[in-house]
Structure formats: structure tokens, C-alpha cells
Chains A and B, each alone.
Chain A
Amino acid sequence: MPRNSTKQDEQSVNVSKSRTLYRLFRYLLDYRGRIVIVFLLMGMTTAISIINPLIIERIINVHIADGNIKGVISLSILGVLLNITMIMLIKLRMYIMAIISNEVLVKIRQQLYEHIQTLGFKFFDSRPTGKILSRIMGDVNSLKDVLMNSVTTLIPDAITVIAVVVIMLVKNPKLGAASLWSLPIMMIAIFINEGKAHKCWQLFRKKNSNLNAFIHEDVAGIRVIQSLNAEKETEETFDELVNEHRRSFNKACMFSDFLWPIIDLSWSAGLIAMYYMGMVIVGAGQVPVGTLVAFGSYIGMFWQPIMNLSNYFNQMITNVAGAERVFEILDTKPELSDNDDAIIPEDIKGEVCFEDVSFDYDDDVPVASDIEEDADEGDSDGWSVLRERAASGIENSSETEKNNPHTSVVMAGSETQMCKVLNNVSFKVKPGETVALVGPTGAGKSTIVNLIARFYDVCSGRILIDGNDVRDLNMEFLRSRLGVMTQDNFLFTGTVRENIRYGRLNATDEEIEAAAKAVNAHDFIMKMEKGYDTELKERGAGLSAGQKQLIAFARTFVSDPSILILDEATSSIDTHTEQLVQKGIETLLKGRTSFVIAHRLSTVKNADRIFVVDKGGIVESGSPAELMARKGEYYKLWTAQAAV
């Protein structure tokens, strides 16, 4: 899995601009009715704005010339009334458009967020958090103006342009052609220019995302930075990223702003050609004076909306890059998803069975033999992974890859088979059994438990819970019946109570306290300023690592799982507290299948069975006493730990 670092630009999938815009504007279709009203309102305001100059003309040419005071006053009043009406209509139109564009924005953002929730760890593991965040926030926000101005600019201006063109060509084709000759050249110029601008804006959004990711990591890792005295260095990196951001902006502006001179020049070219045609080529006297004067003003009427339209086009190009980034995520298929006929059994008894399970984190494509096996078993996952790869992976633009010499693009295939994280692991755990996984770091212990919770799918083999393949179980159900406590005991901002309740949303306050007592967290929680109602800071800042672990433990405890997975759950807790916690765990473990990973063997010695995991496989298994007697790997670990 190629992993993206903060400073590298993300790879982008090439999608045609028109498709992206089509998708964006399709959101507006939900508001068909209201958009029709907006059209009507615009029609009315346009009508009034056409009548307005007529009234003024009439006042000046007729009434004032005639000295008709009454007429002047009455028409003025009419004008005032018309203008007030127009303002009301405009207000209404603005209001409707505000609702539509803000709602679409909320919808897109929510959809994006919901979709991100369905994505698997591979998605999150492969990119910095700040980059995902910049899509949810900045990229979505960048769409606001495009949506807001879509209906209101596009349609009336387009109508005006067409009307003026028709009038000019009908009135005098030669003069008309002369006035418009520069239009196609302008359009080609703009088209080429915007193509370049679009690439620049894409880059700009990537740089924007890099900056966001860097800020995120810097703030999250500020302790490390300050302790390593690395502020100077991060400042330099930050400056570099800011400068890249600026350069990409400047370059994009260079093209985007170029729109104005293109229009200005074409405008002048049309005007000059029209006069030249009228006066020199056709010859003086051939064209009526009035027509020439009128054409002068038509050209003005023609270019103003062209300017608006081009401006909108520009805006669209600037922001379509944001839309692309949003849709790219929406198009990312979750690597794990429920089958259509996913099973929701009544309960999980807790029998866990691994059958020839092999797994590698980098393995995006199952090797050929794996696919065949999967297919034989009527399992669709292998194929869907392949299809996904074919659909998205290949389109990755190779350009960005070249820019990132550091990236290690990890190729899946036969060579990685040798260094798979897990190799043909098989075991069976009875309901209610407590299994401890021990072994050197990086041996694959966490991977085994991650697979039980289906955080990843196996490459080959299968995992059965109560006889059901985990891939056939409803994922939400499976995970809600598992109590997984990972090494990463993340706490949320909110009260202690809310954090524990995260384990089971309908847990009562009593149950929460009981869970806290069971894991021996109650005492220190009560010593906090507001007890269970104390607001925790981000990630539990201010608590010691052990205290955080205890709260996370209570959270798992309260979830009342059928299968309990404790991955280094007590590593930051001192031995005395651990003893007390152990007692709590014992009550929790009763009747539940559990997997315990720990390095301190004192933690695991009361397990029913111990698996010694090494190099992606189980090298030894048996009860603690058996393994001690066997004097194998486990014995070695014990003696190493006991030797002081």
C-alpha cells in the first residue's frame, strides 16, 4: 500500500471536468421546483430592469420636453414602485438561492462524512488525517460560490448573449460578423487557458491539503517537537510548504487572471472591426448612421454578459478541483462491506476458528491462486477487490508519482508472499476460553485479533465465528458483540461518563460506575474535580497514560461483549493496579471467549491456553503449565523475564 506522507502531493484520479460538474449540478435537481420559481423571479426582475430605462427615456424625451410636470411626477412614482417591487423579488430570489446552495453544501458534506465512516483502515492508514480533513472542510466549502451563482448567472446572461447575437446578425450580417469575429478566438483562448488553470488549481488544492496535514501533525505532535527542540526545523518545513502553497496559488492566478486581458482584447477587437467594416470596407454612407451607433451599444450589451459568464466559468474551474477531491472519496469503495445477505445471528456464543488464514497489510490484490480459492467458495470479496483496483487504481496519474522519489510503492505479488504478516494460521477457540497471545513484537499478534474483528479481510483462508465466516456476518453486529481494546486507547473530548458510555450507548449511570469500579478506575475518577462529569481534554490530555487506559478499559467493559479482545490493554498500568484490574477482568471473562495480548507474562499466566506467535504463525500452543513443562519458546520467554 503506497502511503502518502505530509509533504507529498496526493495522487489524483483523472476524471473529465464535465463529469464532475454534471455530478455537482445534479444535486440541484432535487430543488427543481424552487429553481423554476427562481427562473420566474429572474424573468420578472429582468423585465423590470428592461422597463426601467424605458420609463426614464419617456420622462426625458416626452414629458420633460413637453413640460408636463404631472407626467414627470406620475411616471417617477411608477418607477419608484417598480423598483421597490423589483427589490422584493430579488430578495425572494436571493433567499431561495441561499437555502438551496447552503443545503446542497450541507448535503455534500454529510454524504462525504457518512461515506468516510464506511471506509476501512486501509484508507485511513494510507494518508494523514489532515488531508482527509481538508476534503471534508475546505474542499466542500470551496463549492459554495459555484452553487450559489450557478443558476443566477448562467441563465440570464446566456439568454442575453444569444438575443444580442441574433439581433446583430439579423440587422446587418456584415457588421454583426465583424463585431463577433473575435468571439471564437476568445473562446479557444479561454478554453486553453482554463485547461492550464485547472491543472494549477488541482495542484493548489493538493498543496493546501499538504499544509493542512502538516499543521495537524505539528499540533498533534507538539510535545515531541518541543522536546526534541525541533521548532526551527518544523518552522522551516512549514515555510517551505507555505511557499509551495503560495507558488501554486500565484501560478494558478497567472492563468486565471489572464481571462480578463483575453476578454478585453477581444472586446476591443470586435469594436474596432465593426467600425472599420462599417466605415471603410462597406464604405461611408452605405450603412445608416443609426445602425452604426446602435451596433456600438450592442457590442457593449454583448460583452458585459460574456464577461460575467467567463467570470463564472473561471470560478467553476477554480473550484472544480475541490469537487473532484470530494467525489474522489465518494467513489472510493469501502474495502470491506456487508454482503447483501449478511447474517445477524441472535447472539454470538464465542467460538472462533481460523482456517489456513494468511494475511498481508500491503496485499491489495489477492494473488492468482487466492482468487481462485475465493471464487470456489462462492465468496465475492476477492473479485470486488480486483474490480475496484481495475476501476480506480490504474487511472492514477503517473505524474505525481514521479514527483515523489521517497514513496515506496509497495507492490503486491509473489515476492511479498514470503514476508506475509500471517502465514496459514489455523486454530480453534471454544466459547468461554481465554487465550493469551505472546511473542516478539511485530510477530502478528495484533493482526490476529484485528482479523477477528474484521478490521481487515484475510488474503486467503477464512475465519469462522460460531461457524459463520466473519465476512458473512453483519459488520456492525459483529463489532458490537466484540469488545476490542486496542493499543490505541483514544478518548474523546466530553465527560468521563460519555467516554465510558461510548462502549454501550444505552448503559445506565450505575452500569458505567460498575464498569469503572471493576477495572479500578472509579477511585481516581472520583478524585477528579467533577467525578464522572469531568470534561476530558482532547485525547485525555492531563491524564496519565495508565489512567487513560483504565477509562478505555471501562469503556470496553461496559460494552458487555461476547468476545473480548485485549491488546496490550494494561501495558501502561502499574503492576499493583493491574492486579486489581485482573480481578475485574476475571469476572468479565467468565463465560466469554477472550484473547489477551501482553508482554508482561504475569498478565497472561492465568489464561486457559497460550499461543506463542512468531514470524506470522503460531509456533507453540497449550496451557501455561504444559508449555512450561515443554521448555520451548514460552519457557524461554519466562526465564528471560524472570532473570533480573
Chain B
Amino acid sequence: MKKKRYYLLKYWYLYVPAVIGLLVSEALDMVSPIVTKGIVDDVIRGGRQELLMGLLLALVAVGIGRAVFGYLKEYTFDKTSFGIACEIRKHLFRHIQKLSIGYFDSTNTGEIMARLKDDVDRVQAAFGYIGMLTIQMVAHTIMILYCMFRISWKLSLFPLIALPICGIFAVIMEKKLDKVYDDISEENAEMNTVAEENLAGVRVVKAFAREKFEIKKFLKHNKKYYELNMKQSKVWIKYNPLFQLIGSMLTLLSILWGGLMVIDGELTLGELAAFVEYSANAVWPMEMLGWLSNELAAAFASEKKLKKIFDQKPVITDPENAENADEVSKIRGDVEFKNVSLSLDKKDILKNISFKLPAGKTLGIMGATGSGKTTVANMLMRFYDPDKGSVKLDGKDIRELPLSSVRGSIAGVMQDVFLFSDTIKENIKMGERNIGDTVIEKALESACADEFVDKLESGDNTVIGERGVGLSGGQKQRISMARAIAKNRPILILDDSTSALDMETEKQVQKNLNDLGKITKIIIAHRITSVCKADEIIVLDKGRIIERGTHDELLKKKGYYYKTYELQIGNGPEPVGQFA
């Protein structure tokens, strides 16, 4: 994480009015008793009536001053600290978005959410009232110590000793709490994850009537969260009253020692009384010290979590001497895989995959479940870099092209359709904000989605639910396809994206795609009808290409493709009876 100092330095000027407000209102606090004392001593006791009006006016001025500067202090501290937290949140968000897919594969959504929200909130406290109170505390302590020293340096030794003791306790407590807060932050993330999964998977939960099971699962975390919070409370209860105790002992010791000094004639009674009053005033910063170290412990624990994320480096980055991102307009769409191999988690996913796909041509990919079809698409979009071999766009290794050019030239329709809870129009615009309405309409038409979208209450301004809830599987796929088509990019990837469409619609979509013009297409599918018109079809098995060729060539080979064809179509309408 960028050091806290960095943020403080960057925004130091925002703290100026806040600190001014703080110092002035603190000074006015000290003036106020002097004026009151003047009224009591000079006017009431001394009978000097003529001073009254002036002193009362002074009180008015002090009151207004305190109100104005006090407000300035509170508001600007709140505002500034929240502003800085917002900056951290924005930085963190940018950083997270840049991380590679591998990070998201292994980190739960609920956890990332907790970091971006709750942990940033807790760090915010460090920039806000913690800072404010620290300054206030230090200023206050110095002023009081000064006043005490003026009365008696000997007696001042007590607070001088008490303060470091408080400091030590504060440090010990902070250390202990740090661990607890670390666990609390962790558990908060876990509980968030459990709840998030439950909500996201609500359909499965309901389908199996597993509500009670889910409640129990959550209860476990809820209880653990309670225990950790109690642990925090226990540490807090153990140490916090100590600060108060030290404060009150300080007063008593001053009286005891000071009393003896008065009896010895070293000190006047009035001086002692004043000293005692000051030492009562010194209790406040000591108590505050305990409170501050508690808040700081929470902020530090969260900061560590954030730092961990900031330390994550994206695995996939732009090349160092990246060419201009304008390249994107020049990419024609020649795709080449050259001896590409990839393994993830020590498991071979792809082995020695090679194919050449000239711009405007279509590649079909078939193969068994888990054979690596989607990975081919993922590698073209550079979600993973190959261990061996290279993926080339227009003859250039994609690792040498800016990431934004690579992904900017590809429009992918993912197998796992993800739509955002926004209007259909906004969903289609995603990635290129300046797409016009006519393009959107055309894209919907090409994806055969216009008909059902028009029927919706507000057409393409209809808000769809998260992940497209409320739409049927086929409808979601078609919107997701329209989203890709509207981008008008040179390469289009369709990863099992027509599986939920009926045959007629699929045919229409395919026809429309062909009419789109010279677009390089990669079609991953299980249905023969989806890939049979491709210029080349490759069949994958366990990460290798086992068959390749055109539809007709593959049928002649009588291999995997042929068998699939037989199963799906070959024994056509007639032989239904034999299954019955």
C-alpha cells in the first residue's frame, strides 16, 4: 500500500484549516476560564462593575469563536479523512481490477468486498479523528505540563512519570489488540464470504431446501465473530480502566506529596489547589491514550490487509516497451497459436496447440468436457500466458502488444454469461461507452434479441437483475452476444454461447453473424450445427488436438467428430422408436 505518509503528504493542505480550527478552539478553551475568573474575581468579588460589559462581550466573542472554529475543526477533519479514505478505495479498486484472473480464481468475492469496504473504513479512522485527537491530546498535555511546571517542578515529576507509564500500557494494549483486530478483520471477510455465497447461490439453497443448513453455517461464523469481539472487549476492559486509574492516582499523589510540601512551607495552599485542578485536567489525555491505541490497532490491522492486496502484482502486464495503444485499430484479426502449452496448479491444461486462423475466417472448437476449449479462448484474451509457445495476433506475440490492444480487438461471449444489474442498453455499452443507439439496436437484432427486448416494459432501458435474473438462459446468452457484436471488434469468440438457444434461433444468429462482414470467429460448441460451417474445426481431448479439418474432412475420418455427429444428427428423426 502506498504509505500512509504519502496520503498525508498529498493532502496535507486539506488538514490546514482543520488544524487551525483545532488550535484556535483549543486556545479559546484556555481563554474562557480566564474571562470567567475575571468576572468572578474582579466584578463580583472586587465590585468593579464597569468591567462587566467588556468581559461579557469577551465571553460572547469566545463563545462564537469556539462555535465557528470548533465546527471548522470537526467538519474538515471528517471531510478530509473520508476524502482520503475514498482516494485509498479508488487506488485499491484500480489495483484490484488490474490483477490477473488467477488472483480472482483463488480469492473469494466476499473477501475482496470486505477489504474494499470495511478495511478501508477502518483505515479512514486513522486519518480522521485519531489524527485529530492525537494533535489535540499532545497540545493539551504540553499546555498543562507547562502550567504545572510553573507551579512546582518537583510535583510535575508525577505526571512526567505517569505519562510514559501510560504510554507503555498503550503500546502493550495496541500489540494485543492488533492480533485480535487482525482476526476480526479476517472473520469479517469470511462471514461476508459465507453470506455472499448463500445469496448468490440462493437458487440452489432453495432447490434443496437447505435453508436450515445455511443458517447453521452462518451461525458458526456469527458466533466466532462474537467471540472475537468479546476478546477485543476483554483486552480493552483489562487495560482501559488502568489509564483512568493512573489519572486519578496522579491527583491523589500530587495532593499527598504537595500537602506535605505545603506543611513544610515549600508551597502555598493556593498553588496546590491550582496544581490539583491541572492534574485533574491531565486525566483526559491519559484516558484518550488508551482509546487511541485501540482505534489505531484496528486501523493498523486493516492496513496490513490492504497492504497484502497492494503487494499482489498482476501476473499479466503490458510489455515494458509497449507499443502505442493505437495499434488496436490496426489489428486485422490474424490469430495464430504456435505450440502453445499451459499448465495451472501443476496440471497440464493445454499441450502443444497450434493453429492458424487468417483474418475473417472461422475456427470451430469441439471436445470433451474439461478438454481445454475455454482455455484456448482465455489464452487468446491473455488471461493466462503460455508456459511454452506463443499466441500471435497479426503475427505479433500478444505478450509484446499492449494488453488493451489485445483485449480491445477481441469481443468474447463467455460460457458463464454474466450480466450486470443495469439496463440492457448499459450492459451492451459496457467496454465502449460511445456506442450509439442504432448500433445497439442492430446488435440486438443480429443476436436475435430484438424481439423479446422490444416486448419488455421499457425495451432496452429495462433494468435486468444481477447476472440477468428474470431472463431465461437463452435470453441472457443473446444479450451477452449482442454486447459482443456491438463492439464491432475484429475477433469474436463464442464460447458455448448458443447452448440455450433453440435450433431455429441459433441458425438465424449464425446467419446474422456471417453477415457482419470480415470478422475472425472462434466458435466453441458441443452442437455439430454450431461449428459445422467453420473453415477449420479442431477437436480437443485432454489439452491436445486430436482431430482437425473441415466438417466434411472430419466426417470422413470417422473419429470423435463423426461419432458426435452420429449421436446428434446421424440417427435423425426416424430411429426415435428404438429409444422409447
Q: How far is the CA of A249 from the CA of B347 in the complex (A)?
A: 49
Complex contact B499–A488 (CB within 8 A)? no
B504 within 8 A of A: yes
B288 within 8 A of A: no
Q: Mark B184-220, 1 if CB is under 8 A from A, else 0.
A: 0000100111011111111111111111111100110
A235 within 8 A of B: yes
Please give me the residue from chain B that is nearest to A245 by CB atom.
B86
Q: How far is the CA of A571 from the CA of B407 in the complex (A)?
A: 28
B490 within 8 A of A: no
Complex contact B576–A605 (CB within 8 A)? yes
State how many angstroms separate the Cβ of A112 from the closest Cβ of chain B: 10
Q: How large is the interface on A (under 10, 10 to 19, 20 to 34, 35 or more residues)?
A: 35 or more
Identify which of residues 41-78 in chain A touch chain B, using a CB-to-CB cut-off of 8 Å.
52, 56, 59-60, 63-65, 67, 69, 72-73, 76
Residues of B within 8 A of A439 (CB): 502
The residue from B79, B225, B456 contacting A106, defined by CB atoms under 8 A apart:
B225
Identify which of residues 128-159 in chain A touch chain B, using a CB-to-CB cut-off of 8 Å.
128-130, 132-134, 136-138
B312 within 8 A of A: no
A641 within 8 A of B: yes
State how many angstroms separate the Cβ of A567 from the closest Cβ of chain B: 8
Complex contact A121–B202 (CB within 8 A)? yes
B1 within 8 A of A: no
Residues of A within 8 A of B467 (CB): 220
Identify which of residues 576-595 in chain A touch chain B, using a CB-to-CB cut-off of 8 Å.
576-577, 579
A125 within 8 A of B: yes
Q: How far is the CA of A50 from the CA of B196 in the complex (A)?
A: 52
Complex contact B203–A226 (CB within 8 A)? no
Please give me the residue from chain B that is nearest to A610 by CB atom.
B576
- Among B74, B114, B369, B430, residue most surrounded by chain A Cβ atoms (within 10 Å): B369
If the complex has contacts A442-B474, A574-B526, A640-B503, are A538 and B199 also in contact, measured as CB distance less than 8 A? no
Identify which of residues 544-564 in chain A touch chain B, using a CB-to-CB cut-off of 8 Å.
544-547, 549-550, 552, 555, 559
Residues of A within 8 A of B36 (CB): 271, 296
Complex contact A5–B248 (CB within 8 A)? no
Q: How far is the CA of A487 from the CA of B474 in the complex (A)?
A: 10
Q: Mark B510-535, 1 if CB is under 8 A from A, else 0.
A: 00000000000000001111001000
Q: How far is the CA of A235 from the CA of B504 in the complex (A)?
A: 39
Q: How far is the CA of A118 from the CA of B410 in the complex (A)?
A: 43
Stretch of A209-217, A322-330, A348-356, A389-397 on the interface side: A209-217
Complex contact A529–B345 (CB within 8 A)? yes
Residues of A within 8 A of B456 (CB): 408
B276 within 8 A of A: yes
Complex contact B369–A544 (CB within 8 A)? yes
Complex contact A87–B421 (CB within 8 A)? no
- Among B252, B410, B422, residue most surrounded by chain A Cβ atoms (within 10 Å): B252
Q: How far is the CA of A212 from the CA of B564 in the complex (A)?
A: 46
Q: How far is the CA of A7 from the CA of B47 in the complex (A)?
A: 68
Complex contact B572–A642 (CB within 8 A)? yes
A531 within 8 A of B: no
A227 within 8 A of B: yes
Residues of A within 8 A of B143 (CB): none
Complex contact B472–A502 (CB within 8 A)? no
A192 within 8 A of B: no
Residues of A within 8 A of B564 (CB): 574-576
Complex contact B109–A216 (CB within 8 A)? yes
A505 within 8 A of B: yes
Complex contact B90–A441 (CB within 8 A)? no
Residues of A within 8 A of B222 (CB): 106, 109-110, 113
The residue from A3, A213, A267, A606 contacting B470, defined by CB atoms under 8 A apart:
A3
If the complex has contacts A113-B215, A573-B526, are A479 and B43 also in contact, measured as CB distance less than 8 A? no
The residue from B64, B70, B200, B210 contacting A129, defined by CB atoms under 8 A apart:
B200
Stretch of B8-16, B259-267, B294-302, B350-358 on the interface side: B259-267
The residue from A56, A137, A486 contacting B191, defined by CB atoms under 8 A apart:
A137
Please give me the residue from chain B that is nearest to A126 by CB atom.
B465
Q: How far is the CA of A250 from the CA of B82 in the complex (A)?
A: 8
- Among A269, A547, A638, A644, residue most surrounded by chain B Cβ atoms (within 10 Å): A644
Residues of A within 8 A of B171 (CB): none
Complex contact A545–B416 (CB within 8 A)? yes
Complex contact A490–B49 (CB within 8 A)? no
The residue from B206, B414, B568 contacting A455, defined by CB atoms under 8 A apart:
B206
Please give me the residue from chain A that is nearest to B214 by CB atom.
A117
Please give me the residue from chain A that is nearest to B61 by CB atom.
A268
Q: How far is the CA of A410 from the CA of B456 in the complex (A)?
A: 9
State how many angstroms separate the Cβ of A401 from the closest Cβ of chain B: 13
The residue from B105, B114, B116, B416 contacting A542, defined by CB atoms under 8 A apart:
B105
Complex contact B366–A475 (CB within 8 A)? no
Complex contact B502–A639 (CB within 8 A)? no
Residues of A within 8 A of B56 (CB): 272, 275-276
Complex contact B218–A542 (CB within 8 A)? no
Residues of B within 8 A of A224 (CB): 414, 418, 430
Q: How far is the CA of A79 from the CA of B276 in the complex (A)?
A: 14
Residues of A within 8 A of B229 (CB): 98, 102, 105
B317 within 8 A of A: no
The residue from B89, B206, B259, B579 contacting A242, defined by CB atoms under 8 A apart:
B89
Q: How far is the CA of A137 from the CA of B381 in the complex (A)?
A: 36
If the complex has contacts A99-B230, A606-B579, are A264 and B63 also in contact, measured as CB distance less than 8 A? yes
Residues of A within 8 A of B233 (CB): 94-95, 98-99, 102
Complex contact B86–A442 (CB within 8 A)? no
Complex contact B526–A446 (CB within 8 A)? no
B119 within 8 A of A: no
Please give me the residue from chain A that is nearest to B448 by CB atom.
A441
The residue from B74, B89, B236, B433 contacting A257, defined by CB atoms under 8 A apart:
B74
Complex contact B203–A265 (CB within 8 A)? no
B399 within 8 A of A: no
Residues of A within 8 A of B113 (CB): 130, 133, 212, 215-216, 219
Complex contact A576–B90 (CB within 8 A)? no
Residues of B within 8 A of A268 (CB): 59-60, 62-64, 66-67
Q: How far is the CA of A69 from the CA of B105 in the complex (A)?
A: 75
Complex contact B369–A490 (CB within 8 A)? no
Identify which of residues 374-428 in chain A touch chain B, using a CB-to-CB cut-off of 8 Å.
406-408, 410, 419
Please give me the residue from chain A that is nearest to B277 by CB atom.
A56
Residues of A within 8 A of B110 (CB): 133
Residues of B within 8 A of A624 (CB): 576, 579-580
Complex contact A599–B197 (CB within 8 A)? no
Complex contact A641–B44 (CB within 8 A)? no
Complex contact A64–B210 (CB within 8 A)? no
State how many angstroms separate the Cβ of B328 from the closest Cβ of chain A: 9
Q: How far is the CA of A253 from the CA of B80 in the complex (A)?
A: 11
A333 within 8 A of B: no
Complex contact B272–A60 (CB within 8 A)? yes
Q: How far is the CA of A618 from the CA of B430 in the complex (A)?
A: 37
B538 within 8 A of A: no
Q: How far is the CA of A6 from the CA of B206 in the complex (A)?
A: 24
Identify which of residues 11-69 in chain B touch chain A, using a CB-to-CB cut-off of 8 Å.
36, 39-40, 43-45, 47, 49, 52, 56, 59-60, 62-64, 66-68
Closest 4 CB pairs of A and B: A441-B474, A268-B63, A546-B369, A228-B431
A/B interface sample: 9 pairs, CB < 8 A = A6-B421, A86-B248, A87-B241, A105-B226, A227-B383, A408-B456, A628-B573, A644-B528, A644-B529
Other A-B pairs beyond A226-B101, A486-B203, 6, CB < 8 Å:
A60-B273, A113-B222, A272-B56, A284-B47, A440-B505, A575-B526
